Structure 1
């Protein structure tokens, strides 16, 4: 029979208090640190998947109240396209939109159809645009070889007048002539590429292609890496097909290189008509993590350290409480009576 009186000796009080204090401190911070670490880890894992990244960030950014405010603001600015995009995004995320607000969006979309059709026609004929509908018409006009010849002629005029020429516009127009010929020869097979060239030129006209993206595309054309440049232009065309001209232009404003253009294409394929609202809500954050990546990595490391500390703290606490059960004060193990 064991000598139970020896087993019931009081444990080292200082050791128990130290272990309990550490455990309480770690447990107190875990309730907010571990969820932050989990969210940060999910964002880091989605950094190369624009659609997944946008969904995760929308969870924190887009509420029913904000969606309804954005719809009201768009309607107040006579922006039916943006209002319709936010309505579609709200429906996809099961955010409630009152019936009267929904009806106003549909009415605004119908009222703007005639006005946009007229602007589209002017852009198609002249190649000049005062608004996005006109730009869409100019882009559609580029699907014929005339638009590219017109743009090459303008650049030639700049050269003859000793004015600066745009190497990117020149390269896109030249590629557009070749792509148009290939489209007709292949009965429309490369139509996405042809549309991408038109959209890229339209974006360049209105300043939607930033300096870094423009330099990246022009550099690819100058260096002979035509396959990479063609893939980027095709990505622009695909984004335009899925999300529309305006959403594509909005995304290109946030793209710094052809990798960002590929992310825009994946976002447009996943979100379709919601893309414009996603970009309005998240900006460049819809495509890349950017400067917050380092901060997210810190939260992941901090959460992991907290979890390991909890495990170690529980272990120390159990050791401090159970030590008297297997060791006598003189250091010898308990022996049967």
Structure 2
């Protein structure tokens, strides 16, 4: 009987494991199926990650740092996913984002963005874009790099290329009465990300190669994608996403996420990191769960066969014992 009980035990064990293996494998497959849809990918990965407790703690942390923009992004994301935000938190966020408070924060950042081209929020980017539209921003950046060259200091060749392209795009913007404004905004995003350290080395290398290789269509598409992302989700969200972008395809994913999620984008990237745009981790998870499911299936079949054999073995022994002896 011990063989029968052991087989039944293994059968129940493998059946119990299937309760976890099957749903996990299904989720991993859904992530891989959504690999080309950044918005759907983010929705799937947020399941089980953005809990009410996580949302509340992220909002409190943002408010503790006087970051009304990030707190508001988490509120928008929480509401979109059916997570309730406490009235106390909503009141604090409303106070942090009141017109007077926003103006007080934004006035200085607009001026800083206009003079230096640096800024990670909407006001800072507005100032940087305004300076670029007057050509002051690109001339300022070229002058800064010229000073570095004169002093024998390292020159940021990518910044020089972006500033040169910016002057050309600014001229086209005026000539076409603002038609390529998305390109102009995208170049401002790129220059601001370069100064803020929000641009990865691989992305910077690919961009520099495209600029110097004369691949104008590819660069124009990439820049337009970043400009559109900034207009839909804001500068900080674009900077945060750009840290995980390596090429033009990644910029297109970031644009798709920003256009689908809008103000939620900053909170999504803050929560998921690179997983907000790419499915590389899910591929590894899918491979693991496929192997686990295969092993579980083999175990189920083997334990079921062992159980049947253990049940029928006594009958075989009885038939053999009753068989007549040969004369």
- Give the TM-score of the pair, scaled to structure 1: 0.82
Task: State how far apart, in whole Å, the 1-side matches of 2:23 and 2:72 are.
Answer: 34
2:58 equivalent to 1:70: yes
Shift of 1:118: 1.3
How far apart, in 2, do the equivalents of 1:58 and 1:125 lie? 37
1:39 and 2:31 are equivalent in the alignment: no
1:167 aligns with 2:147: no
| CA distance in 2: counterparts of 1:143 and 1:310, whole angstroms | 68
Contact 1:38–1:300 under 8 Å retained in 2:
no
TM-score, scaled to structure 2: 0.85
Q: 1:135 to 1:185 in 2, by over 3 A?
A: closer
Larger Cα-atom Rg: 1
C-alpha contact 1:250 1:276 (8 A) present in aligned 2: yes
Cα deviation per residue 1:268-300 (whole Å; 9 max; x = unaligned)? Answer: 111100111111111122122345632332213
Where in structure 2 are the equivalents of 1:165-314 lying within 5 Å? 165-291=155-281, 293-307=283-297, 310=300
- Secondary structure at the residue paired with 1:94? coil
* Partner residue in 2 for 1:24: 12
SS where residue 93 of structure 2 aligns? helix
User: Where do 1:86-165 residues align within 5 Å?
Assistant: 86-110=74-98, 111-129=100-118, 132=121, 133-165=123-155
Q: Which has the higher mean CA deviation after the structures are superposed, 92-101 or 306-315? A: 306-315
User: Are the counterparts in 1 of residues 203 and 247 from structure 2 also a CA contact under 8 Å?
Assistant: yes
Instruction: Provide closer, same or farther for how the CA distance between residues 136 and 250 of structure 1 changes in structure 2, counting only shifts above 3 A.
Output: farther
| In 1, Cα distance between equivalents of 2:185 and 2:203 | 18
Output the aligned Cα RMSD. 2.9
Residues 195-221 of structure 1: CA deviation (Å, up to 9, x unaligned): 101110111111111212111111111
Contact 2:120 2:236 in 1 (8 A): no
Moved more, 281-290 or 101-110: 281-290
Mapped to 1, the partners of 2:204 and 2:126 lie a distance apart of 20
For structure 1, list consecutive stretches of 5 or more residues without a partner in the other structure: 1-12, 324-328, 331-337
1:54 aligns with 2:39: no
| Offset from partner CA, 1:204-243 (integer Å, 9 cap, x none) | 1111112121111111112222222221111111110110
Deviations 1:115-134 (A, max 9, x none): 23312441354135476443
Give, in whole Å, the separation in 1 of the partners of 2:114 and 2:4.
Answer: 84
Q: Give the match's secondary structure for 1:142.
A: helix
Pairs aligned (count): 316
Query: Are the aligned partners of 1:122 and 1:128 in contact in 2 as well (CA < 8 Å)?
Result: no
Q: Which runs of 5+ in 2 are unaligned?
A: 314-318, 321-327
